[in-house]
Structure 1
């Protein structure tokens, strides 16, 4: 791949998805896009770039999806789900006792392991949520991964990563070499295609927002912008859950960390106040 083609693809990805690849990540683009080019009958990345420059929106979508399909697995990192079960939901249940409803947004739902992990946590709470209205909205940039999430079908390898055996037996049905999550849990998740760079006000307000392992790929200004917009979509007493390598500290005053609970934040009541920006740094995979 020539340097001009690489720079063109870097800009394309930044503009369409927020993905901010550093100058030394050419190998990553080649490893993801060379198979894509060949699969679509093209000779290589140069021809793929030529198609996009000629106005092929289909190839643009394919490139963005190939580069932004990120790894996920059930109960990933465990700690956020412990927080959800032991801290977030007990507080929400008390605070929403009259309303008896909870809205949760998985802002990078990917192939569904995160939203389904949350659905299983809620099911395990049993009688405490009887009669409650529960909404889990799972969004992702990639329509392809959303379709997999809707189907709720996973390989033996996928269900062995992070999923306790008792939950596999309780909530999944085996068909041949695959496992499908049961219809009751699938019905708990609403799927919508969404680019976090675009307006998401139409989603409404949420009690809990999981936005994990996606902001690490954005530059600093984009992170600040997204945090400030997330603050407008969360209830004043809601919870924001970030990935282990992500933080609001030094970026925005709209959220404050909860002491002793890594990755967990609450709205500060300040809307859209920026911290002093630092020089933007490219963050790669």
Structure 2
């Protein structure tokens, strides 16, 4: 792979996915793209780049897919989910008592473990949320991982990573060697293909946004831009959750740190939240984007 090949791939990945590859990441690129080169019946990455430069959109898609990190597991890092369950949702139940609805966005949802973790928490709080309309929008750049997410079907290894045994027994059923998420829990989550470099406004407004462990791959300008756009779709009294290695500090004034809640941030927007009529009955999974 020549320096020009690497420069081309760096630019392409940044434009298509926001992924930033530093000069010391050639080993990572080679390890992920050499299998693609073999699949494309070319001897190496330079020849792969030649085919991409010739306009092979399918190959470009495969390269972006191969380089997108999809590492995830249930209740990853645990503490943010404790904050979500123990303080954020109780506070929102009080704040949204008039409209009795919640909208949550889980960005870069990968294979679904994060949004399904949130769905399990909300199902466990069904008594407090009786009659509420619940909508979890889970997005990811990769159509392949979204297909896996929609199935809600996981291996023994996947359910052993972070999922408490009581949650496994309550929310899953065993299907052969796999574990299938229950239909009523799965119905709370809608999956959509979406690129964080796109405009967010089509998604509507959200009370809670999870955007964890993805912005570490973006450069500072892209992070600042994303934070500013997240704030505009986050309700003024809503919440933003970031990964343990991520922060808004020094990047934007759109959010401020939430005291005593690691990884939780509050919008600095000053405007009144919108109100919509509530629903009746049990927790309801709803479709659509706006309120």
**Deviation digits for residues 16-71 of structure 1, max 9, x if unmatched?**
11111110100000111111222343333222211110111111111111111320
> Are 1:253 and 1:270, in contact at CA under 8 Å, matched by a contact in 2?
no
Number of residues paired by the alignment? 271
| Residue in structure 2 matched with residue 234 of structure 1 by the alignment | 234
Q: Which residue of 2 aligns with 1:121?
A: 121
* 1:9-48 → structure 2 map (5 Å cutoff): 9-48=9-48
Structure 2: runs of 5+ lacking an equivalent: 272-291
Q: CA deviation at 1:200?
A: 1.6
Taking the aligned partners of 1:17 and 1:90, their CA distance within structure 2 comes to 35
Change (3 A) 1:39 1:185: farther
Task: Give a deviation string over 1:193-242, Cα, whole Å, max 9, x none.
Answer: 11101112100000000000000100000000000000100111000000
**Which residue of structure 2 aligns with residue 220 of structure 1?**
220
Contact preservation (8 Å) 2:70, 2:111: no
CA distance in 2, matches of 1:36, 1:150: 26
Residue 169 of structure 1, CA deviation: 1.1
Unaligned runs of 5+ in 1: 272-285
Structure 1 residues 98 and 73: CA distance shift in structure 2, 3 A = same
Cα offset, 1:2, TM superposition: 2.1
**Alpha-carbon RMSD:** 1.2
Aligned to 2:82, the other structure's residue is in SS state: helix
Aligned to 1:136: 136
Deviations 1:68-93 (A, max 9, x none): 13200000000010000011100110
Structure 1 residue matching 2:27: 3-state secondary structure: helix
Counterpart residue number, 1:97: 97
Deviation for aligned residue 1:269: 1.9
Is residue 73–residue 162 contact of structure 1 (8 Å, CA) maintained in 2? yes
What is the TM-score normalised by the length of structure 2?
0.91
User: Equivalent residue for 1:109?
Assistant: 109
Distance between the aligned counterparts of 2:200 and 2:51, measured in 1?
30
Distance in 2, Cα, partners of 1:90 & 1:141? 31
Which has the bigger relative contact order, CA under 8 A and spacing at least 6? 2
Superposition map of 1:168-247 within 5 A = 168-247=168-247
SS in 1 for 2:114: helix
Secondary structure at 1:239 match in 2:
strand
8 Å contact from structure 1 (residues 115, 136) kept in 2: yes
For residues 267-278 of structure 1, the aligned pairs below 5 Å read 267-269=267-269
- Name the counterpart of 2:282: none
- The offset of 1:270, in angstroms, is 6.4
1:149 lines up with 2:149 in the alignment: yes
3-state SS in 2 of match to 1:207? strand
CA distance in 2, matches of 1:39, 1:186: 35
